[in-house]
Amino acid sequence: MDKRTLGQHLEVSAIGLGCMGMSQSYGPNPGGRDEMISLIRAAVERGVTFFDTAEVYGPYVNEELVGEALAPVRDQVVIATKFGFAFDDEGKQTGLCSRPEHIRKATEGSLRRLGVDAIDLYYQHRVDPEVPIEEVAGAVKELIDEGKVRHFGLSEAAARTIRRAHAVQPVTALQSEYSLWWRGPETEILPTLEELGIGFVPFSPLGKGFLTGKVDTDTTFDSSDIRAGIPRFSAEARRANQALADLLGTIAQSRHTTPAQIALAWLLAQQPWIVPIPGTRRLPRLAENLAAAEVELTEDDLARIHSAVDRIDIQGARYPEHLERQIDR
């Protein structure tokens, strides 16, 4: 697989693998732990060098899974994880926390669970309004100086926050949602990243499955599936948003590809420093997603997509209200 560079020096595969869904958020896992380890290793065999996890996924168990799966190839891959939440004694998330002393404690935990000497890319998972971003960046800078972290990242941060953090410790990558389903970053975020030389890692590049064409108004979600509580996945919103899935299906059919591949190829075509991280728990979907790196959209293709998408009014918020409040504005 082709490589791309995040920031100034972090080289990764053009498409990474988001591992969150292997441990949480999308309902019962059809495969067990061993199957997920095999899937991660299959991704490595197919050229993926960029893997995304976080302490909050599980919590904790996803880092352990990723660490075990990648241990045999540690020197060949880039592992990204995240800090920024507090937990009680039972491991339940209790809110945001990016105090410097908490960041250091979180770092030691992630290093241990991943089984690594250094975290390749360390994101602040959500901006903590109680802690100046300069203090956060300074804390990560100290960890970089100590060799425990190699690169600093932010997630769902506003442009002004990115600038303030970057002035203290260069930011290698921003991870935020971006897809044909959610184009919010195009207004301020993408121009800021281009100006500062920061890479972009879109999560949910397939709209939490909606852009694959496999989700429609008849789809039901398990109570443990986050989509059951997301306004954009209400039956009414799905009905209104079906026009986008239909559009991708039509384009995919004309190109002898799949809607998911068109959606990922569109992202890759936006900028050479964009690296999407679709997640999956199934080997066929992994192969499908990675094949998107070989799909080249022409200028006519892109113009057709943009013209059509601009006429579609996507309905529904992308998060329930309590999660929307965690987004930096």
Integer CA distances (angstroms), 175 to 31, 261, 275, in order = 27, 20, 10
Q: Which domain holds residue 313?
A: 3-324
pLDDT band at 178 (very low <50, low <70, confident <90, very high): very high
CA 305/CA 267 separation, integer angstroms: 12
Residue 47 is assigned to a structural domain of this protein: yes
Integer CA distances (angstroms), 28 to 203, 232, 240, 249, in order = 21, 21, 27, 27
Residue 54 is assigned to a structural domain of this protein: yes
Residue 273 is assigned to a structural domain of this protein: yes
CA 8/CA 52 separation, integer angstroms: 19
Residue 208 is assigned to a structural domain of this protein: yes
* 57, 122, 123, 178: the active-site residue: 57
CATH number of the domain within which 99 lies: 3.20.20.100
pLDDT of residue 31: 87
Is pTM beyond 0.85 here?
yes
Strands (E), 162-289: 171-177, 199-203
Residue 23 is assigned to a structural domain of this protein: yes
Per residue in 152-176, pLDDT tens?
Answer: 999 999 999 999 999 999 999 999 9
Per residue in 69-124, pLDDT tens?
Answer: 999 999 999 999 999 999 998 889 999 999 999 999 999 999 999 999 999 999 99
Residue 314 is assigned to a structural domain of this protein: yes
Q: Quick one: which of 215, 287, 280, 300 has its CA closest to 257?
A: 287
Provide the 3-class DSSP secondary structure of residue 310. Answer: coil
Q: Quick one: which of 168, 271, 251, 156 has its CA closest to 211?
A: 251
Residue 329 is assigned to a structural domain of this protein: no
pLDDT of residue 109: 98
String of DSSP letters for 9-59? TEEEESS-EE-GGGTSSBSS-SS-HHHHHHHHHHHHHTT--EEE--TTTTT
288-291, long-range: CB within 8 Å, 24+ apart, which pairs? 288/258, 288/260, 288/261, 289/15, 289/206, 289/260, 289/261, 289/264, 290/1, 290/15, 290/43, 290/46, 290/47, 290/48, 291/257, 291/261
Residue 59 is assigned to a structural domain of this protein: yes
In the residue annotation, 122 being an active-site residue is answered as no
Question: Would the pLDDT of 30 be above 90?
Answer: no
Q: What is the mean pLDDT of the chain?
A: 97
pLDDT of residue 90: 87
Q: Per the structure, how many domains does the chain have?
A: 1
